[in-house]
Amino acid sequence: MQRKRIAVVPGDGIGKEVIPQALMVIQASGAPVDFTEFDWSADRYLKDGTTIPADGFAMLARDFDAIFVGALGDPRVKTNIHAKEILLGMRFQMDLYANVRPVKLFDASLCPLKNVRVEDLNFTVIRENTEGVYMDIGGVFKQGTPDEVATQEDINTRKGVERIIRFAFDYARANRRKKVMMTDKSNVMTYAGGLWQRVFQEVAAEYSEITPQHMFVDALCLQMIREPQSLEVIVTNNMFGDILTDLAAALQGGLGMAASGNIHPSRTSMFEPVHGSAPPLAGKNVANPMGSILSAAMMLAHLELRGEAERIESAVIDAVREGRRTQDIGGSMGTREVAEWIAKRVTA
């Protein structure tokens, strides 16, 4: 197999600590990949004003098979402009329309709910990543007066809704899942919800082996806590996906455990831990590297390096079950020590 080229953007804060550890684990797996690191970050922005170079997105799409990002955000950059341009830029300008968030429980002790077994929590949220209220369309009128009006448009295109729903069914088929649930608030957001409902029914008809389901998003929050074992694949819009995935992260042990992919099936895609740059933890060797290591495994699976991906995920499961943990999940080991243990297990 041809070696895969991976662009690496560690970013800010704990991103700079956890990403090198994940790269070490990838290397330990023997995956045929080459890394090229980019310093796009708050440091770079404060030094010369660069967020991402002019041809940055075109270069990533042309020269790389995947992108691996840590986290972006730094209190010294009050506007957060660099994070916005780099992260949202990748999602929007590279059209990475599917945000894929696997939610798995590796050990019952990580779940804040009582009586939840490992096999009870294993679902995936597919979040639309390029539309909705995140398109920054809206305005204010009579600002600063008692008559102020603010609008924030929720953009839903036929093309955008159809491709994310199709992605969810294709994902279910590829992963041998039997149910896809679309969640919305179509009882009150009738226009956007109506489009999602019609498209969902049309696309579902093409996948006869998969059962289509629907829930309103408020009811799904309840269901996620009460009966997480009933869920397999959830597809939803950008904002509901944003909220649901944080709730889901809490069920699997917190932000330190959560991995994600920002995917366009036929373009260079991006993988990143769900957490941010956690400035108070930075430089202390306490951040949990597992979210990054699991994101690396997702990236390898996406690049069809499935054997390596499975060995990495198994090693993370072993680490959790054998108590090789950072503080956020009840352990006392450091970032490096956890990652080194996992790398050794991957090599063995």
Ligand X SMILES: NC(=O)c1ccc[n+]([C@@H]2O[C@H](COP(=O)([O-])OP(=O)(O)OC[C@H]3O[C@@H](n4cnc5c(N)ncnc54)[C@H](O)[C@@H]3O)[C@@H](O)[C@H]2O)c1
Which CB sits closer to ligand X, 279 or 334? Answer: 279
Can you name the residues that pair with 5 across neighbouring β-strands?
Answer: 34
> Using N-to-C axis directions, what is the helix angle for 306-321 and 15-29, rounded to 10°?
120
Minimum Å gap between C-beta 335 and ligand X is: 8
Minimum Å gap between C-beta 280 and ligand X is: 6
Minimum Å gap between C-beta 272 and ligand X is: 6
Which CB sits closer to ligand X, 287 or 315? Answer: 287
Which CB sits closer to ligand X, 19 or 281? Answer: 281
Q: Where along the sequence are the contacts to ligand X (CB under 6 A)?
A: 14, 71-73, 80, 83, 87, 255-256, 272, 275-279, 281, 287-288, 291, 328
Is residue 328 among the annotated active site residues? no
Minimum Å gap between C-beta 287 and ligand X is: 4
Residue nearest to ligand X (CB): 73
Is residue 218 among the annotated active site residues? yes
The active-site residue, picked from 45, 97, 134, 171, is 134
Minimum Å gap between C-beta 42 and ligand X is: 9
Which CB sits closer to ligand X, 70 or 228? Answer: 70
The active-site residue, picked from 242, 318, 328, 344, is 242
| β-bridge pairing 269-273 and 259-263 | antiparallel
Minimum Å gap between C-beta 282 and ligand X is: 9
Which CB sits closer to ligand X, 27 or 80? Answer: 80
267-282 CB burial, b ≥16 within 10 A, e <16: ebbbbbbbbbbbeebb
Residue 37 has φ and ψ, to the nearest 5°, of -95, 140
Is residue 142 among the annotated active site residues? no
The active-site residue, picked from 154, 179, 185, 207, is 185
Which tokens go with 5?
A: 């080229």
Burial class (CB in 10 A: 0-12, 13-18, 19+), 308: buried
Is residue 171 among the annotated active site residues? no
Please state the three-class secondary structure of the chain as a single string: CCCEEEEEEEECCCHHHHHHHHHHHHHHHCCCEEEEECCCCHHHHHHHCCCCCCCHHHHHHHHCCEEEEEECCCCCCCCCHHHHHHHHHHHHHCCCCEEEEEEECCCHHHCCCCCCCHHHCEEEEEEECCCEHHHCCEEEECCCCCCCEEEECCECCHHHHHHHHHHHHHHHHHCCCCEEEEEECCCCCHHHHHHHHHHHHHHHCCCCCCEEEEEEHHHHHHHHHHCHHHCCEEEECHHHHHHHHHHHHHHCCCHHHCEEEEECCCCCEEEEECCCCCHHHCCCCCCCCHHHHHHHHHHHHHCCCHHHHHHHHHHHHHHHHCCCCCHHHCCCCCHHHHHHHHHHHHHC
Minimum Å gap between C-beta 281 and ligand X is: 5
Is residue 84 among the annotated active site residues? no
As annotated, the active-site residues are 134, 185, 218, 242, 246
